[in-house]
């Protein structure tokens, strides 16, 4: 289970639907809102991402990849 907060954005019509479902005590409408509005946002927020900012990389990792094998030459062959 996720151990982080997930922001949910509701449009004005979504807010109206939520309030109407609560006031009417309409469980079917509330479930519909959860399935069609909230669930997709939660799934997107919790989906694994391969893109991470450099400050989240483990020590020794590089944004452009690992260093080339072999002894250090003082020059990076990727700069060629």
Domain membership of residue 22 (yes or no) is yes
Domain membership of residue 24 (yes or no) is yes
Taking only the tens place, the pLDDT of each residue in 5-63 is 999 999 999 999 999 999 999 999 999 999 999 999 999 988 877 666 656 666 666 66
CA distance 47 to 60: 26
pLDDT of residue 46: 87
Which whole-number Å values give the CA distances from 2 to 11, 26, 35, 47, 74, in the listed order?
24, 28, 18, 11, 44
Which tokens is 39 given? Answer: 């669930």
CB distance 63 to 54 below 8 Å = yes
Domain membership of residue 43 (yes or no) is yes
Range of the structural domain that residue 27 is part of: 10-47
CA distance 7 to 5: 6
pLDDT of residue 3: 78
Q: Please count the other Cβ atoms lying within 10 Å of the Cβ belonging to residue 17.
A: 19
Domains: count for the chain: 1
Domain membership of residue 56 (yes or no) is no
pLDDT of residue 16: 97
Domain membership of residue 16 (yes or no) is yes
Domain membership of residue 15 (yes or no) is yes
Domain membership of residue 65 (yes or no) is no
Domain membership of residue 67 (yes or no) is no
**Statement: residue 67 has pLDDT above 80:** no
The separation between the first and the last C-alpha atoms of the chain, rounded to the nearest angstrom, is: 46
């Amino acid at each position: 289970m996720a151990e982080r907060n997930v922001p949910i954005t509701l449009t004005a019509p979504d807010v109206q639907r939520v309030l109407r479902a609560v006031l009417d005590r309409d469980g079917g409408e509330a479930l519909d809102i959860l399935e069609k509005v909230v669930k997709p946002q939660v799934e997107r927020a919790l989906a694994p991402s391969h893109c991470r900012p450099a400050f989240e990389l483990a020590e020794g990792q590089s944004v452009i990849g690992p260093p080339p094998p072999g002894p250090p030459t003082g020059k990076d062959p990727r700069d060629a």
